[in-house]
Amino acid sequence: MSMMTGPLPWRLKLMHGFGAVAFGVKDGGFSFFLLPFYNLVLGVDAGIVGAALATALIIDALADPLIGHLSDRTYTRWGRRLPWLYLAPIPLALMWALLWSPPFTGVPTFWEIVALAVGVRLLLSACEVPSISLVPEITGDYVERTTLFRYRFLSGWVGGLTMSVLAFTVFLPTPESQLQPDGYAVFGMVGAVVMLVSVTGSAAGQHPYVARLPDSAPPPFSLRLAFADIFDAFRERAFMIFAFGALAAYISQGVTLSITLYVIRYVWQFSETAFKIYPAALGLSVVAMFMIVGPLHRRFGKPLSGAGGAVGALVLAGIPYVLLLIGLWPQTGTVLSTVLFMGFMVTANTAGVVAIISATSMVAEIVEAFEERTGKRAEGTFYAGNWLIQKSATGGGILLTSLIVEVIGLAPGTAQDAVAPQVVTNLALAYLLVSGVLALTAAFWLARFPISQADHEARLAARIARERAPAGAPVPQK
């Protein structure tokens, strides 16, 4: 049974969502600044950075599902998730600060970048997976689960965008400072403090609601059986369909974010003021998402909302580039060009976040489908799978961006006004091609997710009937 029924207290929604601020700080840092920092500032070849992050993902592929499985099997008087949320953020904060002040001499090597990336990713998994796995435990309500994810995504984006605004206004306020390491070091230290406060504060705020001894103790741990359970969970048909769609959607967003500093610098010729305003402008899209995603899920369901968001994001984000390439866009660098571009990006990002939140919310319904088939609850395992997909997508997005930068011949340290026109054209074309393929792939799979709201509610009703039925009495099946 879920911990709560009916409408959730606003304090629980707020404190649960607050934990996602740490994820937003990490995602914004990885997506916006990591590749430019190591490539343009520290002089690491863009291909090496992308390859290092891809290598880190191979390690994640083994470790993340195991973290989720261990979270499912944690048995304390504070429940299965809270102990992780109190312990993991301390080393996470330290590792995040080191990522932006590498403790190495000279230009960081491939394996040094791998070590830092693995440390940050695994420790963030130890925070994010237990935190997000609380959603299907707290409530079984289809709409209330979306509400919790709305708060999570709002908090995550607020965290990421706040750090981006601080980066462009305080830590990296000029194009020149964006090519110096000092501001990135401060960015890392401030972000570390925010992460620590976010995760531990969220755990403390949820403690009165979720701190309880699990219904049953897990059997003795076995690594072989652990991976057998993980593979069994990942074979769930609904999860596989979700994974294909979510991976494409997350990579599409990863490309869009990781290429942002390149395109707004070299394609759209942003001024210093525009650099500072842009992250705050994107924040409007998160507010819009928070308002519309609930009604969309009630009206169209999560699968169609996710597919529609992916297509909408592609169309809206692509229009400025198409108009620029055919000569119908205002002169780049002007106020008119900048305002128009920001307007399109705000609406496109709204659609993109709707797609992402719809996909993430689908995982909660997979939990009950798997339980019906196997008799096991595996929230942590499934959300570790989702988290692995997200991290793979972020790494994949950065890898694709690094390949684009390599192919078009954009040299490290290139000044804003020194880039060749053909490089600008090739950058715009490459972005359109890659994002188009990914968005259409995401829409195709998300629309085919097999669990509707009616399916979920029927499955939930059957489970409740089984739990309440006297021993030996027949119970209705879904």
> Tens-of-pLDDT digits for all 478 residues of the chain?
567 777 889 999 999 999 999 999 998 888 778 888 998 899 888 888 888 887 887 787 778 888 888 888 899 999 889 999 999 999 999 999 999 999 888 889 999 999 999 999 899 989 998 998 898 889 888 888 888 988 998 899 889 888 988 888 899 888 788 888 999 999 999 999 999 999 999 999 999 999 988 878 887 777 787 788 888 888 899 999 999 999 998 888 878 877 887 888 888 999 888 887 887 787 788 888 888 998 998 899 999 999 999 999 999 999 999 999 999 999 999 999 999 999 999 999 899 889 988 988 888 889 888 888 888 878 888 888 887 787 777 667 777 888 888 888 877 667 777 888 888 889 889 989 998 999 999 999 999 999 988 898 888 888 777 767 665 555 455 5
Least Cα distance to 100 among 183, 169, 178 occurs for 183
The predicted pLDDT at position 219 comes to 77
Residues 6+ apart with CB under 8 A from 196: 89, 90, 92, 93
CB 397, CB 385: distance < 8 Å: no
Q: How many CB atoms are located within 10 Å of the residue 454 CB?
A: 10
CA 434 to chain centre: 19
CB 330, CB 340: distance < 8 Å: yes
Task: Please compute, for residue 434, the number of CA atoms within 13 A of its CA located in the half-sphere on the CB side.
Answer: 25
The predicted pLDDT at position 375 comes to 82
CA atoms of 46 and 48, how far apart (whole Å): 5
Residues 6+ apart with CB under 8 A from 85: 19, 127, 130, 131, 199, 200, 202, 203
Task: Please compute, for residue 341, the number of CA atoms within 13 A of its CA located in the half-sphere on the CB side.
Answer: 28
Reported as type and span, the H/E element at residue 22 is helix 21-28
For residue 47, give the 3-state DSSP assignment: helix
The predicted pLDDT at position 413 comes to 67
The predicted pLDDT at position 1 comes to 52
Instruction: Please give the model's pTM, rounded to 2 decimal places.
Output: 0.75
The predicted pLDDT at position 14 comes to 94
CA 18 to chain centre: 15
CB 368, CB 156: distance < 8 Å: no
Domains located in the chain, CATH noted = 10-213+225-468 (1.20.1250.20)
The predicted pLDDT at position 473 comes to 53
In one-letter notation, the amino acid at residue 74 is: T
